[in-house]
Amino acid sequence: MEEKKSWHSNELWAEELETLKSIINKTELVETTKWGGIVYTINNKNVIGIGGFKNFFTIWFFNGVFLKDEQNLLVNANDGVTKGLRQWRFTSKNELNEKLILTYIKEAISNEKEGKSIKPTKKEIEISEFFQGHLDNDTSFAEAFFNFSPYKQKEFLEYIDTAKQEKTKITRLEKIKPMILNKIGLNDKYR
């Protein structure tokens, strides 16, 4: 039985993706499969990936924001959301310029070796007035709440804040208050 490639769901670009793979294989990158797609790594760090879509096939650079991109070939596929990822889109095999592709890939490899990457930014936890009022009125409740990790604090806050009605917020608070005081996370029973 023939090995099934991850892009077989889009036969349109199979030949083009094989050509890209042959170009990429001239570098030191290691091929792996992540999220159902082909990804190339160095020292177990994601550098590039390839894939086929309805209207184009692409190389995406995980930290493409650091590439010089003197040819203006890269796009941010999800502007405002994607911070580091950049795509180079192709619509035909004729657009594949091996020398230029290798130049971009080698720069991406060099950037990875230098440690250039987008560092995740930590968002401050926002506590609603409703919840803050209950923390202010009960020091043992506040102390227990702040002993949780920021992740678990955020789970509790979202649970309360997603309620649209005041009475639902109160009901939810009454449910989680004993959990917080007993050091039980909101979703601990599922972990």
Q: Which two tokens stand for residue 141?
A: 């409740």
The residue among 189, 153, 159 whose CA lies nearest residue 172 is 159
Least Cα distance to 15 among 59, 52, 48 occurs for 52
Q: Residue 40 pLDDT > 80, yes or no?
A: yes
Instruction: Give the pLDDT confidence of 98-147 residue by residue, as tens digits.
Output: 999 999 999 999 999 999 988 877 777 889 999 999 999 999 999 999 99
Model confidence pTM above 0.95: no
Return d(Cα 116, Cα 44) in angstroms, integer. Answer: 15
> Of 66, 81, 113, which residue sits at a domain end?
113
Range of the domain at 73: 8-113
Distances, alpha carbon 100 to alpha carbons 73, 148, 149, in Å: 10, 50, 47
Q: Which of 58, 45, 59 shows the shortest CA–CA distance to 116? A: 45
In the predicted structure, residue 148 carries a pLDDT above the cut 90: yes
At 17, which CATH number? Answer: 3.90.1150.200
Give domain status of residue 120, yes or no.
no
Same domain, yes or no, for 26 and 69?
yes
For residue 38, report the phi and psi dihedrals to the nearest 5 degrees.
-85, 125
Same domain, 16 and 108: yes
| 109 and 139 part of one domain | no
> Domain count of the chain?
2
